[in-house]
Chain A
Amino acid sequence: MTAKFDPFTAASTTRRRFLAGAAGLGALAAMPIKVWAAGNTLNIRTYTEADNFDPVDASGFGEEMLYGAIYRKLIQYTPGNEWGWQPDLVESIEQTSPTEIAFVLKKGQMWSDGFGEITAEDVKFSLERIIDPEMESAIKPDLGSLTGVDVTGTHSGVIRLGTPFAPIWSIALPYLAGTIVCKKAIGHGKRITDAVPPTVAGPYRVAEHRPGDRWVLERNPEFSGPKPDFEKVQIFLIDDEATAEIAFEAGDLDFTRVGLGSIERLRENPPENAKLSEHPSLYYVWVGMNMESPKLKDIRVRQAIQHAIDVPSILEAAYFDVADASTGIIAPGLIGHREESLVAPSADFAKARALLDEAGVDTLDLKLDVLNKSTWTTAAQVIQATLAEVGINLSIGVHESGSFWTLGNEGDGDRWKSLELVLNRFSMTPDPYYATAWFTTEQIGKWNWERFSNEEFDRLHEEAKAETDVAERDRMYKRMQDIMEESGAYRFITHEAAPNLYSTAIKPALRPDSQPLIQFFAKA
Chain B
Amino acid sequence: MSIAERSSFKYTAVGRLMSDPLAVAAVTIIALLVLCAVFADAIAPYDYKALNVRERFAPPSFVHLLGTDNLGRDTFSRLLFGARIALFVGLTSVGLAALIGLMLGMVAGFGPRWLDNAILFLFDTLRAYPTIILALALGALLPPGLGTVILVVVLTTFSEYGRVARTQTQALSAQEFIDAERAMGASPARILFMHILPNVLGPFFILAAINLPVVITIEAGMSFLGVGVAPGTPSWGATLKDGFDYIRNTPWLIVSGGIPLVLVTLGFTFLGESLRDVLDPKLRKER
Contacts and interface: CB of A to CB of B under 8 A. Distances in A.
B258 interface: no
A35 B143 CA distance: 51
Contacts of A377: 226, 231
B226 A398 contact: yes
A134 B230 CA distance: 46
A382 B71 CA distance: 8
A316 B55 CA distance: 12
Interface string B244-276: 011111000000000000000000000000000
Interface residues of A, number: 27
A396 B140 contact: no
Nearest to A375: B245
B248 A262 contact: yes
A374 B246 contact: yes
Kindly state the interface size class of chain B when it binds its partner: 20 to 34
A372 B51 CA distance: 20
Contact of A400 (B53, B70, B226): B226
Majority-rule SS of B interface residues: loop
A487 to B, nearest CB: 28
A265 interface: yes
A313 B53 contact: yes
Interface string A295-320: 00000000000000000010011000
B115 to A, nearest CB: 38
A398 B53 contact: no
A370 B231 CA distance: 10
B116 interface: no
A271 interface: no
B144 A397 contact: yes
Contact of A385 (B49, B143, B227, B249): B49
Interface of A: 242, 245, 259, 261-262, 265, 313, 316-317, 370, 372, 374, 377-378, 380-382, 384-385, 395-400, 402-403
23 contacts: A242-B247, A242-B248, A245-B248, A259-B248, A261-B246, A265-B249, A317-B71, A370-B231, A372-B227, A374-B242, A374-B245, A377-B226, A380-B231, A381-B51, A382-B51, A385-B51, A396-B230, A396-B231, A396-B232, A397-B143, A398-B144, A398-B231, A400-B226
Interface of B: 49, 51, 53, 56, 70-71, 140, 143-144, 226-227, 230-232, 242, 245-249
Q: Shortest 10 CB-CB distances between A and B: which pairs?
A: A372-B226, A374-B245, A377-B231, A317-B53, A381-B232, A396-B231, A316-B53, A396-B230, A403-B140, A385-B51
Given A382-B51, A397-B143, 14 more contacts: A261-B248, A313-B53, A316-B53, A317-B53, A317-B56, A374-B70, A374-B246, A377-B226, A381-B232, A382-B53, A384-B232, A385-B51, A398-B226, A400-B226
